Structure 1
Amino acid sequence: MKKINLIIILALTIFACKNETKQNVDLEENRAKSYDQNDGFITIKGDFVYFADAAVLQTPKEIYGVVIDENMHVLNKQAKAFKSEPTDMVPVTVRVRKFKKEKNEEGWPYRVEIKEILKVEAPDPNKEDVIKLAN
């Protein structure tokens, strides 16, 4: 029984490492740009949506409220080309200024202000994490 558990744990570890390395390679180029510029901005890759006067950037580990300004509207305009519905989330890579929200504000603990748009991609059509409600 211990051997079976050990084999399962090893297999899961190996598969998890393979997925991380592929994703990390793409981010390293963008992070290098952010670090090299030494301007205090960070590079974030995540899913972006702007709907009903609320903008959100969701990464695998965190969700950020996005400051609604000119750069956010430019990003939204670029993302619209990849949306089939207004609530679709679009994968983006952006350089942002990250800061804590004010105590009297609603929303997530951190907000981001978009400073530079690095990449806007088409959503993966095979991704099945969407829940749709129907009558």
Structure 2
Amino acid sequence: MKKALVLILCLSVFVSCKNESKTATETISQSENNDVKVLKGEFVYFADAAVLQTKEEVYGVILNEKMHELENQAKAYKKESTDMVPVEIKGIIKPKSEGEEGWPFQIEITEIVKVSPPLAQDATTIKIKNTNN
């Protein structure tokens, strides 16, 4: 079941690339700690899997207190649980562990900078429906 969910999330992320907004850009913070990056992109958390899609890369988000805080802020803008919400965060990018499923890189959120409402959706937007309910 988890593999199917990850596959569905991957598919939805890649399909949504076609409708990518100009605001989904990635910048690198030149702060004291060079490991901390500022990332802008679209965030989704669904069924114990969190993803941040930027213009350049897709990251698995490490499930921690900050990720749950971000999800709580993003819920205000979601119409459906699978909606992706534009965010700006600071975090530490880490390679995934060997043998672990998911994207090559993960991000550990250290600070939430901004959460924005999603862009309007049109007839070409693909929606994932849960038929079990």
Instruction: Please indicate, yes or no, whether the TM-score normalized by the shorter chain is above 0.5.
Output: yes
Question: Across the two proteins, how many residue pairs are aligned to each other?
Answer: 109
* Structure with greater helix percent: 1
- State the match for 1:125 in structure 2: 120
Answer yes or no: is 1:52 the counterpart of 2:47: yes
Instruction: State the SS of the aligned residue for 1:65.
Output: strand
- State the match for 1:6 in structure 2: none
Shift of 1:40: 1.9
Question: What is the identity, as a one-letter code, of the residue corresponding to 1:116?
Answer: E
- State the match for 1:103 in structure 2: 98
Instruction: State the SS of the aligned residue for 1:35.
Output: coil
- Between the aligned partners of 2:43 and 2:23, the Cα distance in structure 1 is 18
- Between the aligned partners of 2:26 and 2:123, the Cα distance in structure 1 is 23
TM (norm. structure 1) is 0.71
Answer yes or no: is 1:61 the counterpart of 2:52: no
Shift of 1:126: 4.7
Larger radius of gyration, structure 1 or 2? 1
Shift of 1:62: 1.1
Instruction: State the SS of the aligned residue for 1:122.
Output: coil
% identity of equivalent residues: 48
- Between the aligned partners of 1:94 and 1:127, the Cα distance in structure 2 is 27
* Among 60, 73, 76, the residue aligned to 1:81: 76
Does the Cα contact within 8 Å between 2:82 and 2:128 map onto a contact in 1?
no
Shift of 1:36: 3.0
Q: Deviations over 1:47-80 (max 9, x none)?
A: 0000000000001221100000000000000000
Query: What 5-or-longer segments of structure 1 have no aligned partner?
Result: 1-21
- State the match for 1:35 in structure 2: 30
Question: What is the identity, as a one-letter code, of the residue corresponding to 1:121?
Answer: S
Query: What 5-or-longer segments of structure 2 have no aligned partner?
Result: 1-21
Structure 1 residues 86 and 133: alpha-carbon distance in aligned structure 2, compared to 1, 3 A threshold: closer
- State the match for 2:8 in structure 1: none
TM (norm. structure 2) is 0.72
Question: What is the identity, as a one-letter code, of the residue corresponding to 1:80?
Answer: K
